[in-house]
Structure 1
Amino acid sequence: MTSVKESPYYKDAIQEINYPFGDYYLFENFVVAEVKEDIVFNWKDHAKQVVEELTNLYDHNGKEVVYISNRVNNYSVVPSDWIHFFRFSYSLKGYAIVTQKKGKSWSNSLLEKMFMRNQMQTFLDLEDAIEWANELGNKPKKYRSVI
């Protein structure tokens, strides 16, 4: 698995934020997260801080951002903590997980999918996830007709 820093996309990052539990690479329409080895990623200790900072930096509640979890390290996510994310009215345009097909990370991504309310995809390659994120970012907005 390739880290963003080792990819050709790194040069396009607008900003890099480093936390003790992971590194976040901000792009125009998406964020790539790389959580560190053996972290149990949860709302209270990790996600709340990230969401608040990204909300301020992107100047909205996330509705225009695709979040890519690039799982270059082995870590766990508390999937039920997604409830906190939605309780505070945060949203995402899409959520992608980049992982290897075999192993715990793949099965964890399937479990997380049950808790998501928006576009979610699992990829085996960071490049495919970024392409998908850019496609979501460029989709024309659909408006309901009032007539």
Structure 2
Amino acid sequence: MGYIKDSPFYKDAIHEFNYPSGNYYLFDTFVVAEINEGVLFTWDDHAKPITEEFTHLYDNNGEDIVYISNRVNLYSVKPSDWVKFFRNGYNLRGYAVVSYTSRGIFNSLIEKLFMRNSFQSFDNLGDAITWAKELTQKIEVDSENEQSA
């Protein structure tokens, strides 16, 4: 298992937020979340206030951000709450789940059913961060090409 604090990526974090539900590490184009053990992560109790705060910090609705859920702890997610996320006008460039167990990988497949954007599942944090960087770089290049055309 790989906590972000124990990785070489931690030094590049712009900001760290510690909420009762978990820790969030903000980077230029992605967020790494590590939810605490035993939490039932729901839209109303956890995601909504965090999403609102990050929307103000990044100054957009998330459309340029990749969210990485680094599942170093066992917790539950209410997958259908992703509908509330999108219904409230939020978006993501991509969503990655880093699972260290076969059960975690299975659970991420259920979440994928509710996603409207790029989704990937990984077994290590480094690969997820590489994917997030590549995804946002590809979008930047495509945007520049459209502007010059």
What code does the residue aligned with 2:127 have? D
**Aligned pair 1:129/2:128, yes or no?**
yes
**Aligned pair 1:141/2:145, yes or no?**
no
Q: d(CA) in 1 for partners of 2:53 and 2:68?
A: 16
Q: Deviations over 1:112-134 (max 9, x none)?
A: 00000000000001000000000
Q: Aligned-pair distance for 1:101? A: 4.2
Equivalent in the alignment of 1:58: 58
What code does the residue aligned with 1:141 have? D
Structure 1 residues 26-45: aligned runs within 5 Å: 26-45=26-45
Equivalent in the alignment of 2:117: 118
Q: d(CA) in 1 for partners of 2:102 and 2:80?
A: 23
Q: With structure 1 as the length reference, what TM-score do the two structures score?
A: 0.94
Bigger fraction of residues in helix: 2
Q: Aligned-pair distance for 1:107? A: 1.3
Secondary structure of the residue aligned to 2:102 is: coil
Structure 1 residues 13-92: aligned runs within 5 Å: 13-92=13-92
Secondary structure of the residue aligned to 1:141 is: helix
Q: How many residues align?
A: 143
Q: d(CA) in 2 for partners of 1:110 and 1:89?
A: 23
Q: d(CA) in 1 for partners of 2:91 and 2:57?
A: 15
Secondary structure of the residue aligned to 2:31 is: strand
Note the aligned Cα RMSD (angstroms): 1.2
Q: How much identity, in percent, do the aligned residues show?
A: 57
Q: d(CA) in 2 for partners of 1:41 and 1:141?
A: 34
Secondary structure of the residue aligned to 1:11 is: helix
What code does the residue aligned with 2:98 have? V
What code does the residue aligned with 2:60 have? H
What code does the residue aligned with 2:52 have? E
Q: d(CA) in 1 for partners of 2:68 and 2:132?
A: 8
Q: d(CA) in 1 for partners of 2:16 and 2:43?
A: 21
- For structure 1, the residue ranges without an aligned partner over 5 or more in a row are none
- For structure 2, the residue ranges without an aligned partner over 5 or more in a row are none
What code does the residue aligned with 2:28 have? E
Q: d(CA) in 2 for partners of 1:141 and 1:117?
A: 20
